[in-house]
Structure 1
Amino acid sequence: MTKQMTAREVALTALDRVRQNGAYSNLQLNQLLVKNHLNDSDRRLATRLVYGVLQHQLTLEYWLAPFVKGKHLDSWVETLLLLSIYQYHYLERVPDWAVTNESIEIAKHRGGQGIRKFVTGVLHAILRQGLADLDQIADQQKRLMIKYSVPEWIVGELSDQYGESKTRAILAAINEPARLVIRVNTAVTDVATVKKQLTASGVEFQDSQVVPDALVITSGSVVGSPLFDQGKITIQDESAMLAVDSMDVQPGDRVLDACAAPGGKTTQIAARLDPAAGGRVDALDIHQHKTRLIDRNAARLHVSDRVVSHALDARRVDDEFADETFDKILVDAPCSGMGLLRRKPEIRYTKKLADSVNLHQIQKSILNAVAPKVKKGGIITYSTCTILKQENDQTVQAFLAGHPDFTLLKTKTARQLKDDRSSNTLTILPSDYGSDGFFISSLQRNL
């Protein structure tokens, strides 16, 4: 019988796969949590350890460096030491001796006596000598990079685009734990009913500041609950809901979701449609297996009767749709994901500035392709989950420069977010509401 892993062993295994092989943190962690039947508190610990170490990886590596002095370490040994330092510094409720003891046991079990002795020596030295003061790093850009564990190019881009004060706030926010947020599926229920059922099941929550149909879960489990299994709620970040929130979808609209998988926004659109009135959303993804995800989500949320999925590259819409087919189009475009660093911390280490520049070109090509498909007077909502302006405002301006038959409207939301801003586009920073970073624009085709 295979020995079940502890919470720290689960975290170590997931982290090492992410750091060594570029695996997705959420997939690795979920796979290991399913395989190892941890209780709720251990599941929470493993989850916090994985995301915490990834969020603070550059900081932890900086702190570890003087204690290993350039020595080549096996990947899992380095990960174990980073995991230990994270717990020493960031988990105040976990005693240092407990961290040390389990780390030494893991080292002995995985690597034998030699590795055990090495890990023991390093951990005891760290506890004895303490960790370097990050405020003593003289170069400001490097200090921000190490303190907030964000590659220097991202620090530079954010500083150039938002200024030092906002950049510091953004960097601090992306290292806070991500919140669990649910969207109430208004196709089958309403917010008041869901609130009553959550309260009855012992789940604690707060109203969302960002969108009306969202609730922020503060305590308790909702995944696998009757509400979730019955399709009355789904997991979706508040900022991700804003694009559809801004679209003013009407029951009889024909809508195109041009970059749809896995279908979160598709089903959000669908919940506002009435198939009896002709309401329908056509959802595109380039991969067939991803369109199956859209279909499954639509079925779970009881909106299959108004969702039609297509395995189609959004740049090839001419192959499928006539011009002026749609009342509204959503282009939630492929992007660098820089608004999701709190939720997907590892992408900060893999993305490069060149990726953002290349994505700008792809985004323009998608907008150019779908532009003829919206009716005159209709609106293309262009959104991304990044906060880099070259993928946001610059993409919008490039589109408008080539399409004088479109006008940039001011993006409006139900909660009237940032309505006093001077720009027509809407950028939500991770530091604004505790939600993901997001960008939304509203491009109307002239009559």
Structure 2
Amino acid sequence: MRINRVFGVAFGILFVVLDLLVGGYILSSGKAEVTAGDDAGTWVRVFTQAFELVKQDYIDPKKTSSEKLVNAGLHQMLSKLDPHSAFLDAEDYQEFQEENRGEITGIGIVVSGIDGRLTVVSAVEDAPAAKAGILPGDQIFGIGDVNVEHKTVEDIGPLLRGPAGTNVHLRIHRPSNNSTTDVQVIREVYRVNSVRDAHVLDSRKTANFKIGYVRITEFDQPTATELAHRVDGLLADGMQGLVLDLRFNPGGLVQSAIDTCGIFLPPKSMVVYTEGRDPAAHQEFFTDAASKPRGDFPVAILVNSESASASEIVAAAMKDLHRAVIVGETTFGKGLVQAQFELPNGAGMRLTVARYFAPNRETIQERGVKPDIMSSMTRQEERALLLRQRGSFLNPDEKELVAREKDEQLDRAVDALKGLMLYKG
């Protein structure tokens, strides 16, 4: 089982990524059809009666605050729908909004329950956990003095949160080498820089073509602006082709994906469209009419099985509109759209309201985006790539692994660009 295949709850980067959010785009006020035996009023009265009985008769009044009971009910209701719909209490919802702006307080890990273990799905680069050496696949056995081996993701949230500058002690088990270690992490306010490693590749690898490289770790509000700045800098350095790396990118904001496509595609290009239960959910999304696409240079996009959601929007649009060659593995296949709703008490919810489709009218849900050039990685190669990207070397064996393993997918992307540039003449 691939450890990154399950979406979970993020702490320090709560609910980033792993879900495509369209915010105000799809906030339908239409009424769903009610079938016989499914009258909403009847079932609300059932809930209300049960709620009042619990408040009145449960033996321990400390456990029956109205807020806790309602939050628990909403959490269960949303969690039964699909893995991506969720209820967020007021604290989580505020943190979620802050994260979309790219500024976060915490340690920077995404945690999910996988095979009964609290497993780190991703560790945000340059955030406290990654700097302390925590890697995807690590399992959390303890937080502070609390054994969390039998806790849920929701249980550990309060244990991981805390003010900037405070310590959190983690007991980490690493299945890859069957080791268990204690790690001290200091909570920080950190900026998620989603556009990384912009540079011109070594000419010895590119046959003297000037091929640029940029990696996007997620799609947040500043991503497209940052990417445009980086691409302009590479063009000023004489770039002739570009590798855009979306591997291990779990997604983010749909508008960020659209604006990213606007850097490369003509104005008013349709990037994605959505269809849902309500007719109002059918919408088409285009690059900005005033966008200024950067030059006619070839682009290769790197993807793998952990490229999801907004990453798939970019890859599918650039492929379907013949602006990029896609290299790597078939992507994750998350083609569901979540709208976000704020509730009167400051809490919020994410609700799956639509499916999204590529410009060629094919769904991405459970199918993913198939690359033009297939190139797979072994687990060892994936691990070496993650270590190389994060710059986290915990021991000599891992240093040796990074030095030994090559990035075959990047090599294939470079070969594709060289071929295109030679053909173009």
Please, what TM-score do these two structures have when normalized by structure 2? 0.29
Q: Which structure has greater strand proportion?
A: 2
Q: Which structure has greater helix proportion?
A: 1
Please, what TM-score do these two structures have when normalized by structure 1? 0.28
Higher relative contact order (CA 8 A, sep 6+): 2
